[in-house]
Structure 1
C-alpha cells in the first residue's frame, strides 16, 4: 500500500506569547479548537514520502509534541472540583465580599495549566449561558487574567487589568484612576473571575506588598469577582498567617478570606499512586506520534526511568517527553527508550534529584509497579 501524503491544508493556529495578557488573545486561547495529531505513519510509509512531504510531516510532529495539551490527571480533576465549588458559591449579593482562592504548590506540578483549563471551561460555560454580549451591548468577558512581576505595585496591577480589556485610558492616570476604570470594565463586561498569576513575585512585606494586599481587599469588597491567586510558597511568605505587626495584620486580612488549595506530585508509595502514574503514562503514549511507538513503550518499559527523571512532577515529565520526541524524530530513532532519553537534558531540579532517586530504584526500595511495596 502506498503511503499517503500528509494533509497540510489545515495548519493549527499558533497562539502568540501575549495570549493571556489581552482579551483578544484570551479569546483565541478559549476558542481555538484542540490540535489534531498528525496521522501515524509506519517506517515504510515514512520512506515513501517525498522529501518535501517528509519535512512537512516532521514539522507537524514537532509542533504536536511541543503542544501535547492538558491531561486530566486526578490532581487536575480534584482541583477543578474545588474551584467549581468556590466560584459557583460566590454568587452573593453585592454587599458581601467574595471568598478568594490561592493555588499554592511547588513548580512543575501543573498549577497554571490546571487553572487555565478551568478558566477556559468557566468562560465557555458563561458565554454559552448568557451570550457574548451583555444586555447593555458590551462584550462579555467572564475571565480576566493578570500576571505579576517582581516590582508590581498598585498602579502596575491596575494598568495590567486595563491592558487586558484594551481600555484607552491605560497610558495616563494614577493608581486610583486606573482602579476606577478597571472597575468600570469589570462591571460593563460582567467579569466574574480574576486570575492573579505568579503571586510569589510580589514582595509582601514592603510598601508595595501591603498596598497590593489592601488593593486585593478593595477588589474583594467592590468588584463582583472571585480572586484566584496562583503562586509558589505563598504560605511561607505569610499570605495565610497572622502576625503582630500592622503589616502582618493587613496581609492576614487577605489570608482570612482566601481558601488555600494545592497540587501534589505523583507518589508511588501506594498502589493507588502507582496506578495513577501508570494511567498518566498510558495517556501520554496515546499522544506520541513516532513510527516505532508501541503499546507499553512508556507505561511498561520506561515507567521507573521516567519517574526517576521527573521525580513525579508532571511539568518535568512533559518536558522530557517533548524533548525526547524531538530528538527521536530528528535522529530517525522514531521511538523513546532509556538510551535516547539519557542524552536529553531535563530541568535542573529533576536532574539534581535524579541520582538519589535512581539509587532507591536500583536497590528495589522504590518501584512504580502496582502491587510492589513502596
Structure 2
C-alpha cells in the first residue's frame, strides 16, 4: 500500500526526461479504497494510520475534471495541434494563446492535451522520429514544455528551450543559440512548443520585444507555439482587446491603414486566443454545471460520514461558489483543507461550519515565482454583510388621539 501513498520525486516537466516521466505516470495514482467506518474500526492502529495517510494523499491528488470551459479548450487545441502536425506546406504554423486568471488550471489542462497528442503521435509513428536523419538516433520529442525565464531575454529564452533537450549552449552567442534551437526543434521532430508564464514578457522592454520576434520565427519550423499566461490581452502581447461576453471571444479593433505590418497585428493574426474562465452562477446552465462539478469532486473524497449530497445539497453550492468565485483551483484547495480538518477532528464530513474555520492563504503557496495577477483574490469566509435599509420617514403618519385625552373633547364621529 505504501508505494501508492508516498509520492516519489515530482517530475520536472521542464526537461525531456521529466516531461516523459510525468506523461507516462500522470494517471497512475491509485486513490484510497472506499471502506465503511465499521471496517475502519476493525483495522489495527498501524493499518488505520496507513489508510489515513492514503486518504490524505487521495485528497491532495484529486483528479482533474472536465468543465465546459476546459472542454472547449480541448476541442480547439486538439484540432490545431493535429492540423498543424499534418501540414506539409513550409508556411508558418498558427499558434495558440491560453489566458485566464490564476488557479484556473490553464497549465494543467494544456499539458494534458499536449500529452494526449504526444501519446497518439508516438503510437502513430511507432515511437520513431519520421524525420530523423538516416544513420542517427535523435530523441523523438513531439512536445517541449518550457517556462518563460523570469527576466526574459532572447538568450535566456533560447537557453531555457535548449535545457529541455539537454543540449549544450555554453558560451554561445545569440545567433549560435538561435541556430541551435532551430536545429533542436527540427532534429527531435518537435511538433508542439509550450511556453508557460508568457506574460513575464514586458513589451516596454526592448529585449522582451526581441524575444517575441524570436518566438514568432520558431513558428516557421513546423512547430505549433502554445503560449500560456495570465491576462494576455492586457499584457501588451496583443493590441488592447475587449472581451465579448456573448460570443466568448476577444475583439480587437481593426488596424489603421498605416499599421498593417506592425508586429502587434502580426502576432494577433498568427495566434488564436482562448480564455479559460471560472464558473458562473447567474444562469440555470451555469448553476447546473457548477453543481455537476461539485458532484464529480465529491466522488473522489474519502470521508466516512459524508452524505451523498454533502457538496451539492441545500445552500452548499452557493456557499462554495461565494468562497471561491467559481475558480476550480481555489475550490480544490478549500476542499482539500476541509478534508484534512474533517479527518483530524473526527467529524468525517464537510459542513459550512467547518468551512468557515478555514481561511485560504495563497501567499505561501509553493511553486513558480509569483507574477502579476497570478494569485487571485480570495473571498472572505465570513458571510457578506446585509445592507441596512434606511428607516421610513414617519413624520406625516397619523397616530390617532393621545391615550390621556379627554373623551368629551373628542370629535363626534357619528354626528
2:110 equivalent in structure 1: 115
The whole-number CA distance in structure 2 between the counterparts of 1:274 and 1:359 is 23
- Cα displacement string for residues 246-274 of structure 1 (whole angstroms, at most 9, x for unaligned residues): 9x933442222111111121112111111
Structure 1 runs, 4 residues or longer, greater than 6 Å off: 242-246
Aligned partner (choices 267, 270, 276) of residue 254 of structure 1 = 267
Q: Contact between 1:316 and 1:350, CA under 8 Å: does it hold in 2?
A: no
Note closer, same or farther for the CA distance 1:276–1:147 as it changes in structure 2 (3 Å cut). same
Q: Cα distance, 1:220 vs. partner?
A: 1.3
Instruction: Write 1 or 2 for the structure with the bigger share of helix.
Output: 1
Q: Cα distance, 1:347 vs. partner?
A: 4.5
1:26 aligns with 2:19: yes
2:129 equivalent in structure 1: 134
Aligned partner (choices 351, 366, 370) of residue 337 of structure 1 = 351
Q: Contact between 2:280 and 2:287, CA under 8 Å: does it hold in 1?
A: yes
**Structure with bigger gyration radius:** 2
Question: Size of the alignment, in residue pairs?
Answer: 349
The whole-number CA distance in structure 1 between the counterparts of 2:217 and 2:68 is 35
2:174 equivalent in structure 1: 175
Aligned partner (choices 48, 52, 63) of residue 54 of structure 1 = 48
- Within-5 A mapping of 1:258-273: 258-273=271-286
Note closer, same or farther for the CA distance 1:15–1:277 as it changes in structure 2 (3 Å cut). farther
2:57 equivalent in structure 1: 63
1:80 aligns with 2:93: no
Comparing 275-284 and 197-206, the one that deviates more: 197-206
2:244 equivalent in structure 1: none
Q: Cα distance, 1:218 vs. partner?
A: 1.1
The whole-number CA distance in structure 1 between the counterparts of 2:38 and 2:355 is 25
3-state SS in 2 of match to 1:351: coil
Aligned partner (choices 95, 103, 112) of residue 90 of structure 2 = 95
The whole-number CA distance in structure 2 between the counterparts of 1:225 and 1:353 is 44
Q: TM-score, normalised by structure 2?
A: 0.78
Q: Contact between 2:356 and 2:381, CA under 8 Å: does it hold in 1?
A: no
Q: Contact between 1:38 and 1:57, CA under 8 Å: does it hold in 2?
A: yes
1:287 equivalent in structure 2: 300
Note closer, same or farther for the CA distance 1:354–1:254 as it changes in structure 2 (3 Å cut). farther
Q: Cα distance, 1:207 vs. partner?
A: 1.2
3-state SS in 2 of match to 1:235: helix
Q: Contact between 2:149 and 2:157, CA under 8 Å: does it hold in 1?
A: no
1:307 equivalent in structure 2: 321
Q: Cα distance, 1:9 vs. partner?
A: 5.3
**RMSD between superposed Cα atoms in Å:** 2.3
The whole-number CA distance in structure 2 between the counterparts of 1:151 and 1:251 is 21
Q: Which runs of 5+ in 2 are unaligned?
A: 241-254, 363-375, 387-415
3-state SS in 2 of match to 1:267: coil
- Cα displacement string for residues 100-150 of structure 1 (whole angstroms, at most 9, x for unaligned residues): 110111112221121111111111111111122325432211100111133
